[in-house]
Each structure stands twice: as C-alpha cells, then as structure tokens.
Structure 1
Amino acid sequence: MISIISEPKNDVYRRLVDLAFDLCDEFILVVHKKYYSDLNDNAKFLLEKLNDYLIEMKEQSEWAGTKLLGHTAYIYHYHTSPEAREIVKKVSNSLYSWMYPDLPEDLSFYKNGKPWLVNTAHEEQSFIFSEDKSEIDKIMNIKGLKIRL
C-alpha cells in the first residue's frame, strides 16, 4: 500500500488522475443519501454530465475506505473513458476537494474490480494499492506527488 502524504493539487492532481484513468477501468463517486437533495447545482450538473459513462448506481453503507453506521450513500460507478477523464480533471484541481456540497465525494479508482486509488477526502487520506513494479515506478515518477511506501 502506498500512502499519499500531501494532497495532490493542480498539475500533480491532473497527472495522478491521468495515471489512474490509464491503469484503471472504473471510478466511483459518492453521494450520501441524507445529503442528496441538498447537493449544489455544480454537483448535480457533474452527475448529469457523467451520466453517459455510468455503469451503475448502488445504495450502500460501505465502499473502499469507508463504512457508514446507520445510514447509506449512493455509489456511482463509471467507466474510465477519455471524455470522463477530461470532465474529472476540469471540475476540480485537487483530490480532497471531492466533498459535499460542491462535488460528489471521494473520487476513487478501481482496477479489475479491486480498489486502486482510495480517497477519503474529508479525512484527507488517500492510498494506492498496487504491487506492480511498473505501476509503482509510474506513481513515483509523478513530479511533486508526496508518497510513503
């Protein structure tokens, strides 16, 4: 497991997102059920804009990095398409800005059904799960990305 020890912002964020889109086949966004009706227009517009890439939306109390007690959230699963990549890079300049009410929460990536980049934005914690040497080299070569192996 690789810990991201400083928030990826601006170019570092964009390079990390590019790598995640290159390596992964799915990404998720989270909207807590109790906050769904209070999302701001920006977050609603984003969900609408990503609708063409939606695989499924599930109501769950648990996903990579998070376990809720007593309530649920809507987990949106998306294909990692080139168009979705550009949308994700345009709407935010940092990994931890993926928070209610401005955006859906916890942008995270999955590879072959397994968590690859797990982001818990409100706790400012992110982890990458990879044992592939070439992937780890690519991660380590993202200029400005501060990590701990």
Structure 2
Amino acid sequence: MLRMYTDPKGEAYKQVIDVAIQNSECFVLGYKMGDLPSENQKYQSVLEELKPYLIKTIVIKNNNMEEVIQIREAYRSHAFYCSGTYYFYKSCEESGLLLKQFAGSLSDWIFPNLLEDLCFLKKDGEDYLYSVVHEGMYGINVTENEAIELMDQITGLFIEIEAHRDFNRLLDDAIKQKTDRLYISGYRLNKLPDRIRELTEIRWLEIFEQDLYRLPQALFELSKLESLRIMTADLESIPGSISKLKNLKELQINCASSDRPDSTWRTKSKEEISLNRIPPEIGELEQLEQLTINYTSIQELPIELEKLKRLRSLNIENCMIDQKPAFLQRMKQLEYVNVSRNSIFESLALTEYEKD
C-alpha cells in the first residue's frame, strides 16, 4: 500500500475513480459515529442514486471496538475504525459515474456534506484505494512500477515511492503532478533550489531540514501558498519579500530543530540564533491567521503586526522579548497570545511552581 501525498482533484480524481472501479470488487461509504443529519438533500440524493448498486450494509453500534477489529480483520480496510453505518456498493461504470458526479476529490467525501471516507475493496476484501479524510490519509495498493505508470498517465496523482528518497526526483514529480501539498525532510539540504518556484499549485509546504540557513527568493513566488512551516537548526532571517505570499494563512518557524539528532548535535543558545527580527513587511500578509516563531534571538515585535486584522493566534516563544508590546492589547481579534522568553511548557511548569 503506497501513500498519496495529497488527494487527487478535478480531472485527476475522475481518472483515479475509473482506475479504482476497474481494479476493485466494491466500494464502501459510511456514516461514522451514528451522527446522521436529519435534513440533508445531498445525503439523500447520494443514497437514492446509489441504491441500485447497494450490496449490503454493516452497522457497528456504540463504538464496539471488538466488532470493529473483527470487521477490519475480515476486510483489511481503512474504512472501518469506529461505530457507524457502512454501505457496500458494486464497482461498475455506472456507480463510478455517480461518484464523479457527486464529488470533485477524495477529500469531498466527508461529513456533513457527503458520506464519509470512500474506500475501494478488492475481491479478497483488502483495500485497493482508501481515504481517511479527517486525517488527510490517502493510499493506493499498487507496486512501485505500477505507481510510476499511473503517475505518468494521470497528472495530479502524486504517490510516495522509493525513488523519492532522491530529492531531485521528489521535486520533479511534485512539479509534474502539480501537487498542492509537500513535506521535505531528511535530504540534508543546505539550500532550496530556485526550481521550488515551479510548484505553482502548492498551498501547504513544510520543510524540516536542519542545515537550511537561508530562504531563497524563489520560495516567495509561490503565490497560492496558504501554509508555510520551516524547521531548522538556525535561520539567517525572514526576508521582507515574504510579503509577496498574499494568500498565506499560517506561518510557522522553529529554530533549534534537528531532523537527524545524534550524540554530537548541539542546540545553539538563543543568543547564537541568527534570526533576530521579524520584518515589518509581515504586516502586508492580510490573510494571515496564525503566526508561530520559536527559539530565536528576536528582541521586539514590529508594530506592523497590528495591521493583521485576520490574525487569531500569535505565538512567539523562546525569544529575547521581556514583555508584550502594548499594541497587542489593541488587536481585539486575537484569540491566543504567547510572547515569552521560555517555551509554553517551561512557562506552565514555572506557573505551577509559583503556585506552590
């Protein structure tokens, strides 16, 4: 079973449904935890339209985990993990057309809009294709060579393969498949190639590379990026050109991070960390909702943060700031604020100690 980096969408979703129909005996959709909406026309339409292809229904009551385990052993499918009502439908061209009609991606199959977690089962009951939408988990039961062939045929199907241990191959496929999500870690990178700008559809990007010290200008050309997470041992700066990421909703930077810690690795002191300021240009990120920066030598916050009207969470911990700036009091939309010289865990421990 090979994992997908993200779920296929649009035309890629339709093509994946066709492939799954051809390689499966049936597919499963369910209501989980017995939480059935009383009035939902789309739900009713799905059930009514798929009724001619219904094979059987399984009901698991009251989180009976013994029954869940028995069913999972019988079917070896990701579909069954809690109580609920599970519908088994025949895999055929007609039922496949309905799946393509009701949804535009695997992630569309989620409560309360549709039945949940579309999974295709082979004749032996094992998954051919699975989705666990709440957890963002998607996979397909093919060999490495079959995965490569499928990715050649379907643009937008991005499957994790052994060949992706080579970073250039990973980036090649990520660009080719127009992925919207990518996690980069363990490649011993000390810089990102300018080709990163070719990830034109990327919306979520996480980079965990301890030797990454500078962020290239090409990174800030990813105009659709909504979430950027950087974990590294030390970071030179946050370039002012971050203001170009107009759709960014979440920015998270963690220094003193190691993707391969060993007995010789040493965390720098905060005073040694190069990242010592937040650029005022960050105030131009009008969509920003969450800002987290951890373990830096930052000594003050730019007043331009006050321009971030959508900001809900501000977490600047393990820094060199002695007290919260007064302008934060004017940011009434903030739901969570932590500006501290210590980590949140150290702060909590100190609070408990002071109580005693």
TM-score by length of 2: 0.38
The correspondence of residues 26-105 of structure 1 with structure 2, limited to 5 A, is 26-38=26-38, 40-60=40-60, 62=68, 63=72, 64-65=77-78, 66-68=80-82, 72-105=83-116
The correspondence of residues 112-127 of structure 1 with structure 2, limited to 5 A, is 112=123, 113-127=125-139
Q: State how many pairs are aligned.
A: 145
Separation in 1, partners of 2:33, 2:87: 12
Corresponding residue number in structure 2 for 1:16: 16
How much has 1:114 moved relative to structure 2? Answer: 1.3
Gaps of 5+ in 2: 162-356
Question: Which structure carries more strand by proportion?
Answer: 1
Equivalent residue letter for 2:81: K
Q: Tell me, what secondary structure is at the counterpart of 2:34?
A: helix
How much has 1:136 moved relative to structure 2? Answer: 3.3
8 Å CA contact 2:24–2:91 kept in 1: the answer is yes
Gaps of 5+ in 1: none
8 Å CA contact 1:39–1:102 kept in 2: the answer is no
Separation in 2, partners of 1:80, 1:137: 24
Instruction: Deviation per CA, 1:72-130: give whole Å up to 9, x if none.
Output: 11110010121111100011001101011110000110111211111001111111123
Equivalent residue letter for 1:6: T
Aligned sequence identity (%): 28
TM-score by length of 1: 0.87
Q: Tell me, what secondary structure is at the counterpart of 2:59?
A: strand
How much has 1:143 moved relative to structure 2? Answer: 1.6
8 Å CA contact 1:39–1:101 kept in 2: the answer is no
Off by >4 Å, runs of 4+ in structure 1? none
Q: Tell me, what secondary structure is at the counterpart of 2:12?
A: helix
Higher relative contact order (CA 8 A, sep 6+): 1
- Measured on the aligned residues, the alpha-carbon RMSD in Å equals 1.9
Separation in 2, partners of 1:140, 1:7: 13
When residues 103 and 132 of structure 1 are mapped into structure 2, their CA distance, relative to the original with a 3 A threshold, is same
